Structure 1
């Protein structure tokens, strides 16, 4: 067995090496150079020197060396990294017909997420999903979710008041409960909802496994996916088996909840119920698309909103002056007898600046979602190959020192112009580029923006955030750490969350709600 395995690996390596040589010779005959980039190693490509936990940092360093457009290769997969917001708009928006595809990620089917609208290849099926998203989550429709978002925010405040040390879990529950309500009209439990817990487990694994640097190995050697789980290095099979079970529940259980509610005549408006009501007859293709796009919406929104709110909490702990200024602005407009609502938003520009800075400071999707070229292209004299993975390095864009001086610092003031008004920079790169997001950027951005704003302004109005202290009263210092993956999460950190008003009780908090 060992001998056969060694022979097989040598055979695969020889084929890969031959493909690399042919590919290189083909490029030389095109007459135009590829974008500059680090010199790849034979066969494996540019694996040396990449920070596997934070590849966006490596890509930014490459950008400093080679420019805004960087070419690299991982095994037989060509990758072009975009480190500039201008270049991203030039290619992904102005030439969106050529850059709206997604890479063929072979592990999608392995983990049961081939249905996911976010990862789906460009085509008629994706356009149907997009239409369903747009009908349900367009700006006008998103206004109807605001009372629900405020209600969910009040529950978050109550959870934090009663159990502040579990703030990360409360924030995750809050984020998930909002999108579950908007998409399925599902009223989740205030804490520990079993359905949400199952879906979150599936989303977490998928986010960790769909990174280009991980999937490239299986794309180059698809036979690896057929190896059994006991084979050395193939524990991914065990994770995939369990994840497929969770994903099935993610797809089916909330959808069935809507179907039961509609049959009983108790369904309130939601993305799924409204979409199902518009179907003429029983078109299973559209029913499946509704089920799949709804699950995709939950996976995307719950993940990003929760991570952004945790980044906000960290910023308030590390930048108490920002917190104090924000709270002063809220007190001046709202007072201390009630909680803010959306009618107050236009009078609280500093809170909007905090929302923008939260998105910029530590983007949840530092490399966005990879695009792929439909055909070859030429940009600024460089050849961009057909089928190349295009990675917008949002981290590099949001930490561009020319646009954002001292980018590592949390400075909401950077979003005000000389007249003290909010400028036009809405940190749109955090929501993606191109035809995938149309003119309104991320489908659901309006829902996400309202969720972030309502949570941030309410948290600031109600609580103080500070470093935790030990038994001797000394502040506990810590170094923030983030996970790796397509979407990054802030790891647990010590934090003291205390009410701004002494003697605050759950009953008083309920009475302060508008």
Structure 2
């Protein structure tokens, strides 16, 4: 028998023993679909739309059930009650993350969204809450308003290149918030390429089955010379670290010298670094990893544009509110936010109707637990069917499948609950997205500016019939709309002139 065959036999025997020890004792486990020996339910899951499989199994097994993914127990949570019971009331047990060996090595175990629950996570979380919290989020109003203007100008003048304009604006906004980097003009900008390559590298590392070590974690114990994935990841970590540290230290040096500099996440981080007991490397990676938030924002904006293309009545109602509150003599501003209830409702409804992360980011248990008499062991992966929650008629009513921003408004046309997102797109419990306030602000001012300036309509066929975009999506790391196009026109006579003048003024100030 060859050495490689011996390894295969050892691994298979180990899996069989582990499986037998875990599932043949007297503990009561949650119900779930019966699967294959060892592999469990791996081949029963619809990888294109896994929430569809979860919805089917929910009807059979209830609001919470357990899957066996090649020996790894996975809990699927399908109701608001179960999510609150576990992720909020028992957050100390359910706030960690699963093991992602490749992504962890690639980021030096310093990627906040993927970080295991522990001391480093708590320090990074506190630092992020200060630099991105609701009080300080207004510091970024200026750059968000500027990028909303530039995006609106781009879409209005080049609707066929709307995808480029959305991506450019999202990247520029995030780089400016994190590092006070001036707006990029091209996606071939070296800084954008560097950040996008890193996000792509991590995204591929997170795809199920991308690396054998994700399926067989025992392989992570092999020596480095037998682990090409680890050598590559550690090499890339060193390269990424150098760039991130240079970016952070250039801002920190200005703080140390007492030089004035514009507001940015890194500037606030440098100012509070000692308080949080974080090294330069940890600060550098904390800032760098928050860049991925631009992908969420750009995805939501893509769904927003699709919604405006196929739901003209929503667009018309938004136009009426903008005319009433803002008028046609100036652009919307953040001072209008408290009066633009319907625009804010559109933001909430886009995040609910087509959530960028349909299953959120999975949690993991840090100790054994029991729920309603069922045993949940330490290390269990817990995933929430967020798309299913967003279609739950008990939460959103019988029209939960429809796109209807009015669901967030009371009889007076005001937001029903100012203290609630009204959706689950930003996660749960202590792992709720740290940048949600900044993200909401970016989405609000961008959507308000676009709708103030233009009318969006479907592309026409030669016979005059509208070509409606496909309502389906494409699942990668994020749930994205399929490619589509639309037409734009200025909403009133002076709209294009006012947008152009504001754009020219911005260019003049930047020159």
Q: How does 1:143-162 map to 2 (within 5 A)?
A: 143-162=138-157
**1:277 to partner: Cα distance:** 3.0
Q: 1:57 to 1:209 in 2, by over 3 A?
A: farther
Deviation (angstroms), 1:243:
6.7
Q: Distance in 2 between matches of 1:399 and 1:213?
A: 29
Q: Could you say which residue in structure 2 is the equivalent of 1:104? A: 99
Q: For 1:390, which of 382, 385, 397 is the aligned residue?
A: 382
Within the candidate set 266, 270, 285, 2:264 is matched to: 270
Give the drift of 1:428: 4.3
1:499 to 490, 493, 496: 490
CA 1:122–1:491: 2 relative to 1, 3 Å: same
Shift of 1:153: 1.1
1:456 to 437, 447, 468: 447
Distance 2:442 2:22 in 1: 47
Q: CA 1:121–1:408 in 2, change beyond 3 Å: closer, same or farther?
A: same
In structure 1, the partner of 2:401 is 408
**Is 2:89 aligned against 1:90?**
no
Counterpart-to-counterpart distance in 1, 2:231 and 2:325: 54
Q: CA deviation at 1:136?
A: 0.7
Question: How far does residue 487 in structure 1 lie from its aligned partner after superposition?
Answer: 2.8
Any idea what the Cα deviations from partners look like across 1:284-331, whole Å, max 9, x if unmatched? 9422221111112112x2111111111111111111111111111111
Superposed CA deviations along residues 400-436 of structure 1, whole A, max 9, x for unmatched, are: 1222233332111111234543222522421111122
The one of 63, 70, 74 equivalent to 2:69 is 74
Instruction: Identify if the C-alpha distance between structure 1 residues 265 and 451 changes in structure 2 by more than 3 Å, giving closer, same or farther.
Output: same
Following superposition, the deviation at residue 37 of structure 1 comes to: 1.0
Contact 1:463 1:497 in 2 (8 A): yes
**Secondary structure in 2 aligned to 1:72?**
strand
Is residue 60 of structure 1 aligned with residue 55 of structure 2?
yes
Are the equivalent residues in 2 in contact too, given 1:339–1:512 (CA < 8 A)?
Answer: no
Whether 2:302 is the aligned partner of 1:302: answer no
Aligned partner of 2:219 in structure 1 is: 223
How much does 1:482 deviate? 3.0
1:364 is aligned to 356
Distance between the aligned counterparts of 2:148 and 2:324, measured in 1?
21
Alignment of 1:115-514 (within 5 A): 115-192=110-187, 193-211=189-207, 218-223=214-219, 247-248=240-241, 251-252=244-245, 254-259=247-252, 265=259, 267-279=261-273, 285-299=278-292, 301-404=293-396, 405-424=398-417, 426-437=421-432, 442-470=433-461, 473-501=464-492, 504-505=496-497, 507-510=500-503
Q: What's the offset of the Cα at 1:99?
A: 0.9
Partners of 2:111 and 2:285 within 8 A in 1 = yes
Contact 2:127/2:272, CA 8 A, preserved across alignment: no
| Counterparts in 2 of 1:246 and 1:286: CA distance versus 1, 3 Å | closer
**Distance in 2, Cα, partners of 1:18 & 1:307:** 44
Q: Is contact 2:31-2:61 (8 Å) kept? A: yes
What per-residue deviation string (whole Å, max 9, x for no partner) do you get for residues 354-379 of structure 1? 11101100111111111111111111
CA distance in 2, matches of 1:181, 1:242: 28
Q: Matched residues in 2 for 1:201 and 1:238: separation?
A: 18
SS in 1 for 2:153: helix
- Note the residue ranges of structure 2 that are not aligned, 5 or more in a row: 507-511
Give the whole-Å Cα distance in 2 for the aligned partners of 1:268 and 1:40: 57
How far apart, CA to CA, are the structure 2 residues paired with 1:264 and 1:435?
35
Alpha-carbon distance in 1 for matches of 2:142, 2:336: 14
Q: Distance in 2 between matches of 1:84 and 1:205?
A: 33
Q: Deviations over 1:213-243 (max 9, x none)?
A: 6578624254389799xx9xx9x89996997
C-alpha change, 1:254 and 1:314, in structure 2 (3 Å) is farther
The aligned residue for residue 37 of structure 1 is: 32
The count of residues paired between Structure 1 and Structure 2 equals 499
- SS of aligned partner of 1:429: coil
Task: Rate the CA distance shift 1:160–1:250 in 2: closer, same or farther, 3 A.
Answer: farther
Instruction: Compute the RMSD of aligned alpha carbons.
Output: 3.2
Does the CA-based 8 Å contact 1:106-1:218 persist in structure 2?
Answer: yes
What is aligned with 1:9?
A: 8
Give 5+ residue unaligned stretches, structure 1: none
Cα deviation digits, residues 449-498 of structure 1 (max 9, x gap): 11110011111111222222345644334424433244333342222233
Secondary structure of the residue aligned to 2:23 is helix
- State the distance in 1 between where 2:489 and 2:315 align: 13
Tell whether the 8 Å contact from 1:208 to 1:485 is kept in structure 2 after alignment: no
1:346, CA displacement in angstroms? 2.0
Q: What is the CA–CA distance in structure 1 between the aligned matches of 2:501 and 2:15, rounded to whole Å? A: 67
Please state how far the C-alpha of 1:164 moved relative to its aligned partner.
Answer: 2.0
Tell me how far 1:91 sits from its aligned partner: 0.8
Shift of 1:134: 1.2
Following superposition, the deviation at residue 157 of structure 1 comes to 1.6
CA-CA distance at 1:7 after TM superposition? 4.7
Deviation at 1:336, TM superposition (A): 1.5
State the secondary structure of the residue aligned to 1:467: strand
Structure 1 residues 462 and 221, CA gap change in structure 2 (3 angstroms): same
SS of equivalent to 1:402:
helix
- Give SS of 2:283's match: helix
